[in-house]
Amino acid sequence: MNQQEKTSGRNLSNFMEFVLLDFADVPHLQWFLFGLFLIIYIIIVMSNGTIFLVTRLDSALQSPMYFFLSSFSFLEICYVSVTLPRMLMNLATQRRRIALLACATQMCLVLILGGTECLLLAVMAYDRYVAICNPLQYPLIMNHGACIQLVTASWTIGIPVMIGQTYQIFSLHFCGSNQINHFFCDIPPILKLACGNTFINEMLVFIVAVLFVMVPFILIVGSYSKIISTILKLPSATSRMKAFSTCSSHLMVVMLFFGSAIITYLRPKSGQPEGTDKVLSLFYTILTPMFNPMIYSLRNKDVIMALRKLLCNKSLY
């Protein structure tokens, strides 16, 4: 890192940019990391895009479960596109500066889309709960209008909260270094740059994290407790295996995403090694969007058959 990118002893409230360090501590791996994350980004966009198209175009995949899955795949594309392109540009050009407004915008979008993912995963768990625990009422409860309302609420309910969260973070005074030890503008590393007492800000972050991370997680755990209880009562071993297969993929995604997010935003900050937030955030911002299509498609025969049908139709032209 050259000397001009180091700032000390000044109030950064008037200094209109930060420096994202991302992986500057391993300069010999810059091009390797660029290639790795470029491949990951392409995989995420293509795989989630394929699931989105297949679930939209195939008439056999028009149930609520696949409607939520298509919304989830579209969300993953948006989510990863907020962070990865900027990181790829930084790795390729070694120009890691980001304007204050751009940093605030990126944080706000990450928070909105991350909150949407938490809520949408809870909605998907509720869908599986109704399908397995109350199958006779499933078509009535999860009708098309209800599905649209649930997805719309997942996308919009967190917008004012996350905008307010971003505003209160960037209303702080920053002093000393302007270097963010992260690959995107996330709350924990930016709070470390703030001057004075940030206890109130940390408490607000904690409250929002509880509402948008812990509450959906608890609802998901409650749904799966009911689901597992119902599955164990099924008389047929084949039926039990089919039900477990349907839900296990969703549960795997939930544990990966919520586990890393909870540790990042709800753990005590004191005594944590430098760079811990950066490593943890790789799980919920990059690895989860990459694994989601693999988990859902490789474990779902209907999606695989729809994909084969789509590819066969394309080959006829």
List the CATH number of the domain containing 259.
1.20.1070.10
Q: How many domains does the chain have?
A: 1
pLDDT at position 100 is 92
**8 in a structural domain:** no
**CA distances (Å), origin 76, targets 80, 159, 282:** 6, 17, 14
**43 in a structural domain:** yes
pLDDT at position 1 is 45
Residue with tokens 């394929």: 50
Residue type for 100, please? L
pLDDT at position 61 is 82
**25 in a structural domain:** yes
**CA distances (Å), origin 278, targets 26, 42, 200:** 14, 21, 23
**CA distances (Å), origin 258, targets 88, 115, 159, 220, 234:** 25, 11, 20, 10, 29
**215 in a structural domain:** yes
pLDDT at position 10 is 47
Q: SS3 letters for 64-120?
A: HHHHHHHHHHHHHHHHHHHHHHHHHHHHHHCCCEEEHHHHHHHHHHHHHHHHHHHHH
**CA distances (Å), origin 108, targets 26, 166, 170, 217, 239:** 28, 6, 11, 22, 44
Encode the chain (317 residues) as per-residue pLDDT tens digits: 444 444 444 444 445 789 998 888 888 889 999 999 999 999 999 999 988 988 888 877 888 989 999 999 999 999 999 999 999 999 998 888 999 999 999 999 999 999 999 999 999 999 989 988 898 999 999 999 999 999 999 999 999 999 999 999 999 888 878 889 899 999 988 988 888 888 899 999 999 999 999 999 999 999 988 988 888 887 777 767 766 766 676 777 788 889 888 888 887 765 566 667 788 888 888 988 888 887 777 667 778 887 777 777 655 55
**306 in a structural domain:** yes
* Domain housing 25: 16-315
pLDDT at position 237 is 74
**9 in a structural domain:** no
**204 in a structural domain:** yes
pLDDT at position 12 is 46
Instruction: For residue 276, give the 3-state DSSP assignment.
Output: helix
Residues across the chain? 317
**126 in a structural domain:** yes
pLDDT at position 315 is 53
Q: What is the pTM of this model?
A: 0.89
